[in-house]
Structures are given as structure tokens and as C-alpha cells.
Amino acid sequence: MRFAILLLPLMLVTCGGIRDISPAQQFATEQQLPPIDPRGGQLCAFRVSNFSGAAITYDLRANDEPIGRLSNNSYFCVNLLPKEYVISGDSSYWGARRVGTETIIRQGERRFIELQVGASPILSTQTREIGLAGIHSTK
């Protein structure tokens, strides 16, 4: 029991996570993102710092076309044509699992997806607020 109590603060420090940010920080983070192509929309993918799976990098695809890579504590944004996409990710690491989610890109809009890597990786769509906070935390 004592060991678990001593280990808890270390686990809280190394697990990372997304912290709430103020509206001013959201605005500043959004201003640093690349502009959205007026012919389409934008997808921003992020992965906050986490000790679990930190060495694994995932290659992301939109409808099987490569769009970017996510390593620990990173993000990228890519402009896409408006339509429905299956976003998938995999890694060359032998123990990594393929992950995926669906999203719709609309003209003039920015969508956010988060990659969480741990015992079981998860790729999921996020709200604007969570997406901006996640990207802010990767800086």
C-alpha cells in the first residue's frame, strides 16, 4: 500500500493529459495554426505528451492517403477537400495497433482529432476547445 501511495505522484506527472486553457490562450493557439484553404477544410491531429508509448510514432492517413506523422507531444494540420474521411493510423513498431475514426471535413471548418497511445491506442474526434488545448499543450 505504501508503495502505491509513493508511486501515485510519479504516475500523475508522467501521464500527461490535456489541461483547460483560457479563451485568450485558445485564440492565440488558433492564430498560430496554418490558414484553412478556402476550397476546403482543415484537419488538425495532435498527441499530447505521455510516458506510455512515448517512443512510438504513428503515420496517419485520410482514406488511405498519407497525411502526416504523430510522435509523442506533437501535432500537425492538413488542408483537405470537403467530404467524409476515414482517418487511420499505424506504426512500424511491432506491438502497435492500427487505429481509426471517421470525420467529415466541411468547407471553411477546422476539425480536431486526438491520438492517445497507451495499452490500447485510440484515435478520436475532439471539440474545438479540447483540440486547441491539446495543441497548446504540445508547445
Collect contacts of 83-90 with beta carbons under 8 A, ≥24 apart. 85/43, 86/62, 87/43, 87/45, 87/60, 87/61, 87/62, 87/113, 87/123, 88/60, 88/61, 88/64, 88/123, 89/58, 89/59, 89/60, 89/61, 89/115, 89/121, 89/123, 90/58, 90/59
HEC readout, 16-46: CCCCCCCHHHHHHHHHCCCCCCCCCEEEEEE
Tally of domains in the chain: 1
What is the pLDDT, as a whole number, of residue 96? 61
User: In this structure, what DSSP letter does residue 51 have?
Assistant: S
Host domain of residue 63:
2-137
User: pLDDT of the chain along its 139 residues, tens only?
Assistant: 443 433 333 333 334 568 889 999 999 999 999 999 999 999 999 999 888 888 889 999 999 999 999 999 999 999 999 999 999 998 877 666 678 999 999 999 999 999 998 777 899 999 999 999 999 999 7
Q: Residue 56: which CATH number?
A: 2.60.40.1120
Three cell numbers written together for 46: 495532435
pLDDT for res 7: 36
